[in-house]
Structure 1
Amino acid sequence: MDVESAASALSECEGGVRVTIRVKPRARRQGLCGMRGRALEIALTAPPVDGAANSALFSWLSETFGVSRSRLSIVSGPTSREKCVELHGISLASAERALAVAVKGDR
């Protein structure tokens, strides 16, 4: 996966950035695993039960983008594999830099 295609999952919104995501719960290891269309595909070790996968996703996003969990919100897909998450208080340029580091570190 290249940085430019990964950045296509990001879009600017009022007060932050929106990220289009497809999650893979119950994976062997957690992390960025590629693209699915224009969505980041993120593997999560947590099961999709009682919000565990969403919590694991928030932890990964918080760590990757340097944004506190309280600044994250699911805009669409809270019970779906396809999600749209808003990261408040981060610029698009900062999010793209953080994502580039994640893409390069996952190779």
Structure 2
Amino acid sequence: MSWYSLDSNNHLLLKLHVQPGARCTEAVGLHGGALKIKLAAPPVDGKANDLLLKFLAKRFAVPLKHVALKRGAQSRHKVVEVRHAACAPEILLSALKTDS
């Protein structure tokens, strides 16, 4: 089971597991069938969701209006849609820190 897929309109769907309240915002690896992302924002007043969408828009080089939270507004488990992504979803994994 992959953490991303394409819908019928060829939009990218991402399955995410988010951890708000982290020191910095970053993708940290796979967590079950989802990509785990730490967010440097508290889970109050939609701040973590807003930061998540901005983070993804920047990584995929799309305007913020092309990134939408489809499911999980009040959950750690989220589905996010990215329209017209300028790069493949693996871009999120390429920035992972590796221990050598």
- If the TM-score is normalised by the length of the shorter chain, which range does it land in? 0.7 to 0.9
Instruction: List alignment gaps of at least 5 residues for structure 1.
Output: none
Q: Which residue of 2 aligns with 1:12?
A: 6
Identity of aligned residues (%): 34
Measure how far apart 1:97 and its partner are. Answer: 4.8
Correspondence 1:21 to 2:27: no
Query: 3-state SS of the aligned residue for 1:78?
Result: coil
Structure with more relative contact order (C-alpha pairs < 8 Å, separation 6 or more): 1
Measure how far apart 1:66 and its partner are. Answer: 1.1
Measure how far apart 1:100 and its partner are. Answer: 4.5
- RMSD (Å), alpha carbons: 1.9
Q: Which residue of 1 aligns with 2:70?
A: 75
Instruction: List alignment gaps of at least 5 residues for structure 2.
Output: none
AA at the equivalent of 2:17? R
Measure how far apart 1:80 and its partner are. Answer: 0.6
Query: 3-state SS of the aligned residue for 1:79?
Result: coil
CA distance in 1, matches of 2:18, 2:73: 11
Stretches of 4+ aligned residues off by more than 4 angstroms: none
Correspondence 1:98 to 2:95: no
Query: 3-state SS of the aligned residue for 1:96?
Result: coil
AA at the equivalent of 1:16? H
Normalising by structure 2, we get a TM-score of: 0.85
Measure how far apart 1:90 and its partner are. Answer: 2.6
CA distance in 1, matches of 2:68, 2:35: 16
Query: 3-state SS of the aligned residue for 2:54?
Result: helix
